[in-house]
Amino acid sequence: MKKSLGKGTHAMPTPVWLVGTYDSEGKPNLATVAWGGVCCSDPASVTVSLRKSRHSYDAILKRRAFTINVPSQAFVRAADYAGMASGRDADKFAVAGLTAVRSELVDAPYVAEFPLVIECRLLQVVEIGVHTQFIGEIMDVKADEEVLDENGIADPAKVLPLVYSPTNRTYYGLGEVVGKGFEIGKQLMK
Amino acid sequence: MKKSLGKGTHAMPTPVWLVGTYDSEGKPNLATVAWGGVCCSDPASVTVSLRKSRHSYDAILKRRAFTINVPSQAFVRAADYAGMASGRDADKFAVAGLTAVRSELVDAPYVAEFPLVIECRLLQVVEIGVHTQFIGEIMDVKADEEVLDENGIADPAKVLPLVYSPTNRTYYGLGEVVGKGFEIGKQLMK
């Protein structure tokens, strides 16, 4: 017998991604989101949701671009900070000790120190409610050489991404390998 | 210096959610998705993306409803299986040894054995490319009593959700607590 918890966003897990943008004055900014995910394989696309009050909201609409920056566990303070402070008042890159690199593909900066970054051009804007969802087409993914496995793929055990649970507002690391996709379930195929 | 990996969906982490639907004959079905996430706080809403070829695609459009079922690690085989088999050919609930419970709020079934389930009514349909994104308004969240913490909130350490990385197609468990949201970053606030 399950207990009703009401209409909240009691889902898990969610990502911890820092959205990189240039504001109207060209200042690089970051906004941490847990509301987002991959949404399409072709064109390869991702979503991030932002409130209209966020400084990054206007930036994405004006520049038609954003980056998704995947922090390692070691950057948990920067990630949490960038979700609380506003780019109107603070230079979040400077405060967090991060370096903004200008993307050559889209009009947005990415974080030099993070192991995995995704450069997106704005594809669609979806109004939902207090959050607006931005759908970005992935123009390129870039990763530090050190986090690539022998196949040239970003290895989660080296990226060490943060995992968030909105239920208890807590950041987790990645756990142990539980199984391989499109493999472990074959045991149940007839 | 970062290495370019191209336009793939090399993001992480993603959720592992089983989408519950009734098909046109009223048979309960499940489809596992990693393309999805929370998209809005009010109305509390989530997204799942499906290819048009999936049996669940028509089901969601016809019933205007779906559930999101969060499996514990122990259900990794069922989760992987439900992402490979088609509900046209198989009774996935039966094969995976799962029980379909009829939601009283939306026209979709949820999984009795999973610790956390989310009942959604279809809010928007967003065409992106090979995937269609379904935005669902959360009508209720239900959890097993055993996974609730002392505040009545679903505790990730008890739910033990799967975490997926599409880069290497691997399921992970949840790792250690790295920090508290809206807390650990305060050290950087001026």
ipTM: 0.97
Please report, in tens digits, the pLDDT of each residue of chain A (190 residues total): 899 999 999 999 999 999 999 999 999 999 999 999 999 999 999 999 999 999 999 999 999 999 999 999 999 999 999 999 999 999 999 999 999 999 999 999 999 999 999 999 999 999 999 999 999 999 999 999 999 999 999 999 999 999 999 999 999 999 999 999 999 999 999 7
- The token duo for A39 is 């949404």
Measured CA to CA, the distance from residue B32 to residue A157 in angstroms comes to: 23
The span from the CA of B127 to the CA of A126, in Å, is 11
Sign of CA dihedral B102, B108, B75, B159: negative
Report pLDDT for B141: 98
Which chain B residues contact residue A77 at CB under 8 A? Answer: 179, 184-185, 187-188
- B43 to A144: CB separation less than 8 angstroms, yes or no: no
Q: Is A75 helix (H, G, I), strand (E, B) or coil?
A: helix
Chain B hits for A170, CB-CB cut-off 8 Å, are 156, 177, 179-181
Residues of chain A with Cβ-Cβ distance to B39 below 8 Å are 35-36, 47, 49, 126, 128, 131, 133
A13, A129, A162 ranked by CB distance to B161: nearest? A13
Res A31: pLDDT: 98
- pLDDT for the residue B190: 73
| Phi, psi angle pair for B139, to nearest 5° | -90, -30
Cα dist. B15→A35, B28, B82, B150, B173 in Å? 12, 22, 14, 25, 11
Quick one: pLDDT at residue A190? 73
Mean pLDDT across B5-19: 98
Query: Do residue A162 and residue B139 have CB atoms under 8 angstroms apart?
Result: no
pLDDT at A1: 83
Q: In which band, very low, low, confident or very high, does the pLDDT at B88 lie, cut at 50, 70 and 90?
A: very high
Dist CA A83 CA A68 (whole Å)? 14
User: Which of B168, B169, B176, B182 should one mutate to test binding to chain A, selecting the residue with the greatest count of A CBs within 10 A?
Assistant: B168
The answer to whether the Cβ–Cβ distance between B35 and A36 falls below 8 Å is no
B97-122 CB burial, b ≥16 within 10 A, e <16 = ebebbebeebbbbbbebbbbbbbbbb
The pLDDT assigned to B2 comes to 96
| Distance from the Cα of residue B19 to its chain's centroid | 6
Mutation pick from A123, A138, A174 vs chain B, by most beta carbons of B within 10 Å, is A174
Mean pLDDT of B85-112: 97
- The whole-angstrom distance between B45's CA and the closest CA on chain A is 7
pLDDT for position B171: 98
To probe the interface with A, which of B4, B10, B32, B117 has the most A CB atoms within 10 Å? Answer: B10
At B54-82, the pLDDT tens digits run 999 999 999 999 999 999 999 999 999 99
Q: Report how far residue B11's alpha carbon sits from residue A182's, in angstroms, rounded to the nearest whole number.
A: 18
What pLDDT score does B1 carry?
83
- CA of A77 to nearest chain B CA: how many angstroms apart? 4
pLDDT, averaged across chain B:
97
Tokens of B24: 């046109």
Q: What is the CA radius of gyration of chain B?
A: 17
